[in-house]
Amino acid sequence: MVYLVNGEGNWRIDTDKQTGFPFFSYLIKDCLEGTDLAMPQSRIWKAAELAILAQLQAKKL
- Structure confidence at residue 50 as a pLDDT band (50, 70, 90): very high
pLDDT at 46: 96
Backbone angles phi, psi at 9, to 5 degrees: 150, -165
Write the pLDDT tens digit of every residue in 23-40. 888 989 998 998 999 989
DSSP 41: H
Confidence tier at 60 by pLDDT (50, 70, 90): confident
Give the H/E segment covering residue 33. helix 22-33
34 backbone dihedrals φ, ψ, rounded to 5°: 70, 30
- Length of the chain equals 61
Q: Where are the domains of the chain?
A: 21-61
